[in-house]
Structure 1
Amino acid sequence: MTWGNGVLYVIVCASGAAGDVGRLVRLARDEGWTVQIVATPPALDFIDVPALERQTGRPVRSRYRRPDEPKPPRADAIIVAPATFNTINKFALGIADTYALGLLAEAPGLGIPVVVLPFVNDALASRVPFRRSVESLRAEGVSILPGPGQDRSGPPAVHDRTGDPEDRPWARALDALGRLRREAPGEVTGP
């Protein structure tokens, strides 16, 4: 696979930043990715579904497909952005109670690289369950982005849209995928 010419699943969670996920789609498409948006059910209220479908040329998915519906292409990589406290904790525990979490539950076992861009407030990010979840996911090779200015093993980012250029959080997620490729040339199996 030529990096950037594959299928990138962008899993969108219910966060105020979800309304800006079109920026990530634009950046990813500029790099040659085919983008498939997968939204958690609550995220559907935070995104402009028709606009994202026009932008990607693909339907936004939020539920498992029916047997008569076509199967989407397999993901070559996944970015979870914005990632919420709830989704990160469920992902770490292997809870697959939504389509998005089902995809995430399988990804590490399939060797699909996953980058998580947390949008979590300071109070939630300081909780022991959250810190354990981040540690657990990192141990499985999932890239949880640290806060701006921290090294890659630092605490997870508590991103907001203040003080960051508009595309910066989204570009950081794509940069992390690029690092995965440089660290594991050939077949990408994770960070």
Structure 2
Amino acid sequence: MAELERVSGHPVRWEPRRPGEGDVWPAADVIAFAPVTANSLKAWALGLTPSWVVGAVVAGVGRRVPMVAMPCVNQVLAAHPQVDRSVAVLREAGVRVLYGEGGWVPNRPGEGRPQAFPWGFVLDVVDQEARPGQ
């Protein structure tokens, strides 16, 4: 964590602020949420805040911060109708969801491939969202 603080110039925060406590971070230019689990995806779309990170992206929608998300779910979880509904809700809210053709395509259960997660693609899209029109 010390290295993250050094590189970012800001303290690492892993818990919500306490009431009345000021924010030590600057406003975000863009937020990337990747990989997003099916659970976090559905909570985000419903506006639920079960964790600090999901609360941050729920608030990001309200603040109209440009956001990029790439769900990373397998075919069994993706078959649940709430996954597609959640993707649609987030897209309607202005989130750029990289899912399906041109994004994450669900794999078979048990066929985890973390080394194949397209971080470069996610970061390229984040860069586009941070500088629209360029």
Name the TM-score, length of structure 2 as normaliser: 0.76
Paired residues of 2:10 and 2:24 also in contact (CA < 8 A): no
Does residue 158 (structure 1) correspond to residue 85 (structure 2)? The answer is no
Q: Secondary structure at the match of 1:79?
A: strand
1:169 corresponds to: 118
Unaligned runs of 5+ in 2: 108-112
1:53 Cα deviation from its structure 2 partner: 4.5
Residue among 38, 59, 83 paired with 2:36? 83
2:73 corresponds in structure 1 to 120
> Helix, strand or coil: the match of 1:175?
helix
Cα distance between partner residues in 2 of 1:56 and 1:73: 11
Per-residue Cα deviation, 1:66-108 (whole angstroms, up to 9, x for no partner) = 3456532221110012211111100000012332222211212
In the alignment, residue 85 of structure 1 is paired with which amino acid?
Answer: A
Separation in 2 of the partners of 1:52 and 1:158?
31
Aligned to 2:128: 179
Mapped to 1, the partners of 2:60 and 2:133 lie a distance apart of 19
> Distance in 1 between the 2:14 and 2:50 partners?
12
8 Å CA contact retained: 2:30, 2:130: no
SS of structure 1 residue aligned to 2:114:
coil
Give the counterpart letter for 2:126 in structure 1.
L
Cα distance in structure 1, aligned partners of 2:80 and 2:25:
36
Q: For residues 18-167 of structure 1, what are the structure 2 equivalents within 5 Å?
A: 49=1, 52-53=4-5, 55-66=7-18, 67-68=20-21, 71-147=24-100, 150-151=101-102, 156-158=104-106, 160-161=113-114, 164=116
- The verdict on how the C-alpha distance between 1:68 and 1:134 changes in structure 2, with shifts beyond 3 A counting, is closer
2:87 and 2:69 map into 1 onto residues whose CA distance is 10
Gapped runs of 5+ residues in structure 1?
1-48, 187-191
Q: How many residues align?
A: 128
Rounded to whole Å, the distance in 2 between the matches of 1:60 and 1:80 is: 17
State the structure with bigger RCO (CA 8 A, min sep 6), 1 or 2: 2
With normalisation by structure 1, the TM-score equals 0.56
Retained in 1: the 8 A contact 2:38–2:77?
yes
- DSSP-derived class of the 1:101 partner: helix
